[in-house]
Amino acid sequence: MKQIMIILPILLLVMSVLMLANFAYADTKVSGEKVFKRCAACHSFTKNKIGPSLGNIIDEKAGSVEGFKYSKAMKNSDIVWNDCSLDSFLKKPRKYIKGTKMRFIGLKKKSDRDALIEYLKENQDNHKVR
C-alpha cells in the first residue's frame, strides 16, 4: 500500500505533463490553409491567375496546367509534383528550377511546407481545371 501511495502521485504527474505536451503540440500545428494565403495572391485551385491553377497538380508534370504560359525552364523540366519535389521547390523555387518565372522567395520552415503540401493534396479532387 505504501508503494502505491508513492507511485500514484508520480504517475499522475507524468500523465499531466504528457497531456500538456499534447495540447501544446496541437496549438502549434501549422495550418496549410493559413500558409496557402501567402500563395493566394497568385494562385487558386480553380483558375489561372498570375500563377497557374494548383487544382490537381499532385502527380502531374510541372508546367502542364492548360492555358498557363510557363517559363521554358518549368515547361522543359522532367519534374512530377509529389511530396519530395514540392518540398524542394517550395523551399527555394528559383534554386530548384533555375529560370522559373515564380518570384516567391520560398518557405523556410519545413512545418509550413509540409502543411501546405498536405493542404494541396486535400484540395485536389474538388477542383478539376484541365
| Tens-digit pLDDT profile for residues 57-84 | 999 999 999 999 999 999 999 999 999 9
Domain 31-122 has CATH 3.40.50.300: no
- Distance between CA atoms of residues 82 and 80, nearest Å: 6
Cα 20 to the center of its chain, rounded Å: 26
Q: What does each of the 130 residues of the chain score in pLDDT, given as a tens digit?
A: 666 667 756 655 666 666 655 544 444 578 999 999 999 999 999 999 999 999 999 999 999 999 999 999 999 999 999 999 999 999 999 999 999 999 999 999 999 999 999 999 999 875 554 4
Distance of alpha carbon 28 from its chain centroid, rounded?
A: 15
Please report the pLDDT score of residue 26 as a whole number: 44
Asked whether the beta carbons of 92 and 62 are under 8 A apart, the reply is no
Q: Which residues contact 99 (CB under 8 A, 6 or more apart)?
A: 71, 72, 73, 74
* Predicted pLDDT at 29: 77
